[in-house]
Amino acid sequence: MRTAPTILHLDMDAFYASAEQAAKPSLRGKAVVVGGLGPRGVVATASYEARKFGVHSAMPMGQARRLAPNAAYLVPRFGLYREISEQVMALLRELSPLVEPLSLDEAFVDLEAGGVADDAASARVVGERLRVDIKTVTGLTGSVGLAASKMLAKIASEEAKPDGLRLIVPGTERDLLGPMSVRTLPGVGPATGDHLRRGGITTVEEIAGAGEDELVRLVGKSHGSALYAMALARDERPVVAERDTKSVSVEDTYDVDIHDRVRVRGEVARLADRCVERLRAAGHSGRTIVLKVRRFDFSTLTRSETLRGPTDDAGVVREAAARLLESVDTTGGVRLLGVGVTGLADYTQEDLFAQARALAEGSEQGEGEAVGEAAQETAQAVEESSVDEVPLAARRWVAGHDVRHAAYGHGWVQGSGLGRVTVRFETPVSPPGRVRTFRVDDAELVPAEPLPLVEPTEEGLAGPGAESAERCPSG
């Protein structure tokens, strides 16, 4: 492991929700929840204000509404999030050729490989400058962790949240990790944590004290050996540049083993959607779909299926993952599920509108895959906002998405129903705007593209709080 804290981990703060707050002045400082709004939708991201009520990502949307009934509930705008992500990743690539994106809002950077830092002092300067640059360019905040390894850099960024920087000095890792919960270590979810607790192990220091043999006995050879190494702060994984990525995957460990086969299918569908989101953020498509299942007894099974051509279509990945699940016995319960894509390529055989139509058709067929509803609604909204020929009465007004009115200018949908759509007219650089209601077939109201969160001024770049009455005629 290196001797200087030159691995940087950046994690944007409550990314989707923060982007929505920056875009919508009336929501700043208020609880915002982003995700699928249907009966079986799930939370993608909650703002820090919403988290105070207990709302968190992956929570069923119905439960979130009960905890925070007065929050703003919005459908994701992945097009906007990708644009912001590209701006952030561009800033990271100015620091080093070795940037490893983990998702739209998270990445590792090897500062040493970029020649911008070789000790703690220079690394801190780079990290602080990066935070300022991100705020200037995007209007959003990110938290930075600096350490001598990827594991510790990620732990540091988590401790720095929100909008902070934490540097772990090499040589202090064991003292830092010792009193922390076992859940701090990567790969230790609720189920593994409970298993270790039943063995009398609750802290990282106790993992190190138990010894590798005992950990292997408790959680299996591969997992046990990895946990022991991490508890000793050993992590030699290099930062891998995006172009060298061999696969993209996501997985979840569950608080309680899942026995309900219907829920298992739903979780696999949700993971497939998240995997595709990450795949697209990296600019890739892939040929081989991989399903990972860790059962109640810690046995881990993987199944894979290779497609005829590369894809980044969420519907295709969901269907392949569902087929793979049919070959796995989950009778005794499931503690971890994962979906991945390998055989990556930089192109896809499907175009955007074909993907959107396929997703929309899949949602209408009601095949029980509504866990990925947020992605389906977003894809459909993208298509509808791009096609002028859609009949006025057939337009879907999606909560949180952008619109423009001939008389009132740019705004966003607060809600719709009973033939009416309610719009708040404001922009990222205006004061909070007024609310007006229209018929859903009002010819003067049309879908619109998101506006930039910041805009150039004579002095440089203005933040999202700058006023611009000219762009919000409604006041």
For the chain, the first-to-last Cα distance in angstroms comes to: 57
Nearest to 143 by CA among 128, 127, 122, 160: 160
Measured CA to CA, the distance from residue 437 to residue 447 in angstroms comes to 15
- The Cα 223–Cα 192 span in angstroms is 10
In contact, 356 and 312? CB cutoff 8 Å: no
- Has 158 been annotated as catalytic? no
Mode of pairing for the β-strands spanning 334-345 and 300-311: unpaired
Contacting residues for 195 by C-beta, under 8 A, at least 6 apart = 218, 219, 298
CB atoms within 10 A of CB 85: 22
Per annotation, catalytic residue among 20, 49, 100, 106: 106
The Cα 17–Cα 51 span in angstroms is 11
Output the 3-class SS for 202-270. Answer: CEHHHHHHHCHHHHHHHHCHHHHHHHHHHHCCCCCCCCCCHHHCCEEEEEEEEEEEECCHHHHHHHHHH
Q: Which amino acid is at 375?
A: A
Question: What amino acid is encoded at 373 in this protein?
Answer: E
List the alpha helices (DSSP H) in 367-414. 373-386
d(CA 131, CA 149): 20
Question: What's the CA gap between 306 and 96, in Å, rounded?
Answer: 34
Query: Tokens representing 167?
Result: 């540097």
What is the helix (H) or strand (E) element at residue 459, kind and residue range? none
CA distances from residue 415 to 43, 61, 116, 400, 438 in whole angstroms, order as listed: 18, 16, 48, 8, 11
Q: Name beta bridge partners: 421.
A: 416, 438
Task: Enumerate helices (H) and strands (E) in the chain, giving the number of each.
Answer: 15, 19
All residues at 6 or more sequence positions from 213 whose CB lies less than 8 Å from its CB, including other chains: none
A 10 A CB-CB count for 323 gives 13
Catalytic residues: 106
